[in-house]
Amino acid sequence: MKQAIYLFILLFCYLPQYASASTIKGPLSQQTQNPEVIVKYVYEQAGLKGKLDFEVFKNGYNAYYNTKARKKQLLTIIDYSKPSTEKRFFVIDLKRNKLLYHTYVTHGVNSGGVVAKHFSNIVNSRQTSLGTFLTDTTYFGGNGYSLRLDGLTKGLNDNARRRYIVVHGAPYASEDFIQRHGYLGRSWGCPALPANLSKKIIDTIKGGSVIYARA
């Protein structure tokens, strides 16, 4: 009975900021009144340990719940602290606590070589932008099937539309490219994905999901 009371308090007092009721599954102990425990629970259930740093996930998780305009229970995290030769693009289903995609993603040609070190919000900088994005609609352009992004972090990525920063596929965003050149190809600032996965990923995250990019 006491445990049920604690769970009731958790769901209605703590979860609005950190999680939805559907995020938590199974019996929970009294310590889940601590919001960080909730984040750790999702982190562990999604199998992110050893793939994505917990602090990075926690920051992305908070960015998701602070984005009021979101329409999907999906969180994409791009960890640009990792070199381009590592898989640093994560799509996480927060409703089912499941990692849907874990793959390569490019950074801008002027952001660095193997590792992205320079970031910008300036038009024509050809550098990657950091911060929180909200996905929008798709279109076919010069890079094929692409996904429009709105930058929500003032001063860091709010020029995303003006810079035509979109998610798209690219032949240079592949493991084969890494094997041949020793690094992943680079874009003009867009987070480009492996061509064989880009359409599936775009169709999954389009229409109001959150992307959190950090370095």
Domains identified in the chain and CATH numbers? 1-45 (no CATH), 51-214 (2.40.440.10)
Check whether 64 has a pLDDT greater than 80.
yes
| Residue 189 C-beta-side C-alpha neighbours within 13 Å | 24
How far is Cα of residue 136 from the mean position of the Cα atoms in its chain? 14
Dmax over CA atoms of the chain, in Å, equals: 61
pTM: 0.87
Please check whether residue 138 is in contact with residue 130, taking contact to mean a CB–CB distance below 8 angstroms: no
* Residue 34 banded pLDDT, cuts 50, 70, 90: confident
| Selection from 85, 49, 92 nearest residue 211 by Cα | 92
Q: Which residues pair with 93 in a beta bridge?
A: 74, 98
Calculate the average pLDDT of the chain.
Answer: 89
Please check whether residue 130 is in contact with residue 213, taking contact to mean a CB–CB distance below 8 angstroms: yes
CA distance 81 to 47: 20
pLDDT of residue 174: 97
| Selection from 213, 204, 214 nearest residue 73 by Cα | 204
Range in 12-26, 144-158, 189-203 with the lowest mean pLDDT: 12-26
Mean pLDDT calculated for residue range 143-150 = 98
Q: Which residues contact 190 (CB under 8 A, 6 or more apart)?
A: 106, 108, 143, 164, 165, 166, 167, 168
Model pLDDT for residues 35-55, shown as the tens digit of each residue: 889 899 999 999 999 999 999
Mean pLDDT calculated for residue range 133-148 = 98
Mean pLDDT calculated for residue range 114-131 = 98
Mean pLDDT calculated for residue range 74-92 = 98
pLDDT of residue 33: 54
